[in-house]
Amino acid sequence: MPEGEIQAPPMLDAAVAFGRVLRGAGLRVGTDRLVEFARAIEEMDPSRRDDVYWSGRITLTSRPEDIEVYDRAFELFWESGGGAMPRPRPKIRLSVPQPDRSVMPPKKTVEKNESGEEAVRLRYSPVEVLRHKDFALYSPEEFAELQRLLADLRLSGALRKSRRLEPAPRGRHDPRRTLRGAMRTGGEAVRHRFRKARVQPRRVVLLCDVSGSMAPYSRALLRFLHASVVSGGHLEAFSIGTRLTRITRELTTRDPDRALRQTAGAVRDISGGTRLGDAIKEFVDRWGQRGMARGAVVVIFSDGWDRGDVSVLAEQMQRLGRLAYRIVWVNPLKAAPGYKPLAAGMAAALPHVDVFLSGHNFESLEELARAVAAATQR
């Protein structure tokens, strides 16, 4: 088509309108991509459905997950009379039941009433108290305080040697820098330079069970996931419930409340049941085996209640164990005195777990951070 024909503007209008639909459906499409889409259609046949479909899919999607969303939006926009605005994806609210205050152990009051010393400690070191307090018993104000504590807690994987080399006082000889230095001294290598493999933290993969039985803890744990993801580093986060959802991207928003809202929007099975074995299998199949779990520290937050087939869980944990550097299992129930891993899922998974922690309060999350960073071989 010769340049200057007045085909372009109408196509661009349509592209922009379609872009709005895609954004409404949750796809990230920038203006640059829409311009690209308009240009692409001009090279194709705008009157042919498939040409428009492929031009759009090739220019506007960038992940396999986008394709399903794109297909829905495409149908809605181009095939239902055109230009119809979509209903926004139903927002799923993250419902975390507030602890029922009537059955809460009256810890605080007891402490205050029984001894003046306790009351003093409570007043002067609220952080210390909070560190030991069970997440399930947190008040809204305490969640706000937790946010501040979490900001200082960094989750960084155990170190491993990278294949990237860096200058070092000793190590392997570095001819490139040695010779470069020699240029300045008339070709005489006066000083020899060395380099060695850089060390870098291993990837950390967080799998957080968001099923109903974990609800008292998922609010705090999701905040922990968020704080870990925004602090940077090699981190990936997934939620597990009846299915597996990758939530790393949703959690990257700085503002914790917005991030959690977005996460809740992406996770569709919050507070449903868990099919732990299936979810872990899905993780290993779709992500882990391809490389995400290889040499990584994998942390699973779950109480081990599995509504699926427990033998699946055992098999998948074994598979995961062969890929991962270390598997840490965090189960808030473990904090209860006399806890025994009676849940069938927990019992099946434990033989493949390297570190078993409770994660029910801040102090145990600190312990988790240490376990994740620890370099000892299993």
Which tokens hold the place of 9?
Answer: 């503007």
Q: Are strands 204-209 and 172-173 parallel, antiparallel or unpaired?
A: unpaired
Q: Which is nearer to another protein, 5 or 141 (CB)?
A: 5
Q: Which is nearer to another protein, 114 or 285 (CB)?
A: 285
376 Cβ contact partners less than 8 Å away, ≥ 6 residues apart:
none
Q: How many CA atoms lie within 13 A of 56 on its CB side?
A: 30
Q: Of 7, 80, 2, which Cα lies nearest the Cα of 38?
A: 7
337 scored as a contact of another protein (CB under 8 A): no
140 scored as a contact of another protein (CB under 8 A): no
Q: Of 281, 188, 286, which Cα lies nearest the Cα of 236?
A: 286
What does 304-315 look like in DSSP terms, one character per residue? ---SS-HHHHHH
Contact characters 289-328, another protein, x per CB under 8 A: xxxx-x------------------------x---------
Class of residue 369 by CB neighbours under 10 A (exposed 0-12, middle 13-18, buried 19+): middle
58 scored as a contact of another protein (CB under 8 A): yes
Q: Which is nearer to another protein, 251 or 355 (CB)?
A: 251
Class of residue 124 by CB neighbours under 10 A (exposed 0-12, middle 13-18, buried 19+): exposed
Using the rule CB under 8 A, which residue among 50, 100, 141, 152 binds another protein?
A: 50
Task: Give yes or no for a contact between 175 and 343, defined as CB atoms under 8 angstroms apart.
Answer: no
39 scored as a contact of another protein (CB under 8 A): yes
* Total residues in contact with another protein, by rule CB under 8 A: 46
Q: Which is nearer to another protein, 28 or 258 (CB)?
A: 28
Q: Which is nearer to another protein, 59 or 211 (CB)?
A: 59
> CA–CA separation, 126 vs 71, rounded Å?
52
Instruction: Write down the least CB distance from residue 235 to another protein, Å.
Output: 11
Task: Give yes or no for a contact between 349 and 317, defined as CB atoms under 8 angstroms apart.
Answer: yes
Q: Which is nearer to another protein, 30 or 126 (CB)?
A: 30
Which positions from 235 through 264 interact with another protein, judged by CB under 8 A?
236, 248-249
162 scored as a contact of another protein (CB under 8 A): yes
Q: Which stretch binds another protein (CB under 8 A): 75-83, 150-158, 288-296, 302-310?
A: 288-296
Using the rule CB under 8 A, which residue among 10, 31, 63, 339 binds another protein?
A: 63
For the chain, how big is the Rg over CA atoms in Å? Answer: 27
- CA-CA distances (angstroms) from residue 228 to 22, 128, 252, 349? 30, 21, 10, 25
> CA–CA separation, 37 vs 55, rounded Å?
6
Using the rule CB under 8 A, which residue among 28, 132, 191, 370 binds another protein?
A: 28
163 scored as a contact of another protein (CB under 8 A): yes
Instruction: Write down the least CB distance from residue 58 to another protein, Å.
Output: 5
Which tokens hold the place of 156?
Answer: 């960084």
Instruction: Write down the least CB distance from residue 327 to another protein, Å.
Output: 19
- CA-CA distances (angstroms) from residue 295 to 68, 162, 201, 320, 322? 31, 12, 10, 10, 9
Amino acid present at 319 = R
66 Cβ contact partners less than 8 Å away, ≥ 6 residues apart:
27, 60
55 scored as a contact of another protein (CB under 8 A): yes
Q: Which is nearer to another protein, 57 or 89 (CB)?
A: 57
Which positions from 169 through 188 interact with another protein, judged by CB under 8 A?
175-176, 179-180, 182-183, 186-187
Which positions from 82 through 121 interact with another protein, judged by CB under 8 A?
none
Q: Which is nearer to another protein, 8 or 136 (CB)?
A: 8
Which tokens hold the place of 284?
Answer: 């290993």
Residues forming contacts to another protein in the complex (CB under 8 A) are 3, 28, 30, 32-33, 35-36, 39-40, 43-44, 50-51, 54-55, 57-59, 61-64, 67, 162-165, 175-176, 179-180, 182-183, 186-187, 236, 248-249, 285, 287, 289-292, 294, 319
